[in-house]
Amino acid sequence: MSQYIKHSEVAWSMTSKAAKVSLIVPVYNVETYLGRCLESCSAQTLNDLEIICVDDGSTDNSGKILDEYAKEESRAIVIHKENGGLSSARNAGIRAATGEWLMFLDSDDYLEPNACERIWCEGQDEYTEIIVFGSDFFPKYPVPENVQWLRDVLYTKAQRFNRFEIDTLLYVPGTKPFVWRQAFLSEFLKSHALQFEDDLRFAEDIVFQFKAFPRARSTSFIADSLYRYRVTRNGSLMQKADADPVKKLQWHIKAVEHIAADWDELGLLDEYGEALLGWALRYTVLDTNALLNKEQAAQLLDIFQEHDLTNHSKNLPSEERSIWKKLQRI
């Protein structure tokens, strides 16, 4: 029987052995939506599960809801911490996790009942370190803007990669921008000391993925739609970012800086520098050219120069080459 313990800011349930799957649920001021999320955790068909809920300094009743949930759900682990942002909350969950597989669930979303079991079975079928799975959005009405983009992002088809391929990360549907539709072998994350960047309050998923995929020896994509993403919520990070596109662009530049530095350290840029430069130009310039000011353009050019990415500009495809010229003119 699990023992429920409280110690200063941390509460957790101790189990006799490691779980098969650890669900990491960062929570911040979502009292209206939290119930459905937690219900979907408890309803999982995989019983050997730990549910790590990280209260990131909520000021509403979210923390109390989690404490009450843990009294009824013996597999629950509740961590209360000062507000540090989504990256900080997820990192706290990673540090606490004991499961063989780690999954991330945003607290206003929910999982299909078979999600954890499907991930576990896929991981047992053949060795893999990352599993990418399908998802869908809700509510369907009113239909969200740019719905085709969302459908493309959430769709996956079954395929497997036994080595890192640049197309796996940059172009295969489902790899970006959401980390919650991917599961990670715990041993893989720990062996590479992979965590989210605490200094990023937005675009942290992108950086984490760009660090994880090149390090993985094997990555599996499955077509199963296992996750339900709430497409609109007042106060969500996505809504705040869309409301301040200039700040959003600054976060994108910061993300590119992190990724370029990591790939440089890994020695990937000789082979993949052109592809990374092309992606970075589209990610920061293509849809935001009117917003990009001289200071931000200079920041990007400094990043590219520091990591010798400018040397790859002459080999860019025509569209990306055009974006590169626009950046230099700003």
For residues 62 and 58, give the distance between their C-alpha atoms in angstroms, rounded to a whole number: 6
Residue 192 near residue 130, CB atoms below 8 Å: no
Q: What is the DSSP string of 72-87?
A: H-TTEEEEEE----HH
Helix, strand, or coil here: 330?
coil
Question: Bigger pLDDT: 297 or 263?
Answer: 263
The mean pLDDT value for 56-62 works out to 97
Residue 111 confidence (pLDDT) above 80: yes
For residues 296 and 269, give the distance between their C-alpha atoms in angstroms, rounded to a whole number: 23
Q: Could you report the per-residue pLDDT of 120-146, keeping only the tens digit for each? A: 999 998 899 999 999 999 988 777 777
Residue 239 confidence (pLDDT) above 60: no
Q: Which of 48, 49, 36 is nearest to 110 (CA)?
A: 36
The mean pLDDT value for 84-98 works out to 97
Cβ atoms < 10 Å from Cβ of 102: 24
Residue 109 near residue 227, CB atoms below 8 Å: yes
Q: Which two tokens stand for residue 285?
A: 């310039």
Q: Could you report the per-residue pLDDT of 253-284, keeping only the tens digit for each? A: 999 999 999 999 999 999 999 999 999 999 99
> Percent of the chain having pLDDT more than 90?
72
